[in-house]
Amino acid sequence: MTMPTKAVYVEWLDHASSEMQWNTRETRTLTAPILVSSIGFILEETDDHIVLVMSHTGEEETFFGEILILKNCIKKRRALKV
């Protein structure tokens, strides 16, 4: 496995489940997707998603901080020079 070398800045809409508790319409916390900014190395890219990692060790091929982002949730994407 070759470790990633392409760094990117991504703005994307995060949608997630709420805390595991009972809620009412008044106490719920998820009312809309949240715009998130992330910087990372592209570990994987397909037609429908990218996988970013925060850090990696090129020699041991290990990584930390993995996140999968659906491409239809990406609002802005910019390559970064490392």
Percent of the chain with pLDDT over 70: 90
Q: How far apart (Å, rounded) are the C-alpha atoms in residues 33 and 44?
A: 24
How do residues 5-35 score in pLDDT, each as one tens digit? 799 999 999 987 666 778 788 888 778 898 9
Global confidence as pTM: 0.81
pLDDT of residue 1: 54
Higher pLDDT, 79 or 18: 79
DSSP secondary-structure letter at 71?
Answer: G
Whether the predicted pLDDT of 54 surpasses 80: yes
Q: How far apart (Å, rounded) are the C-alpha atoms in residues 82 and 75?
A: 22
- CA neighbor of 50 nearest in space, from 82, 80, 2, 6: 6
Which regions of the chain does DSSP assign to beta strands (E)?
7-14, 34-45, 49-53, 55-57, 62-64, 67-70, 74-80
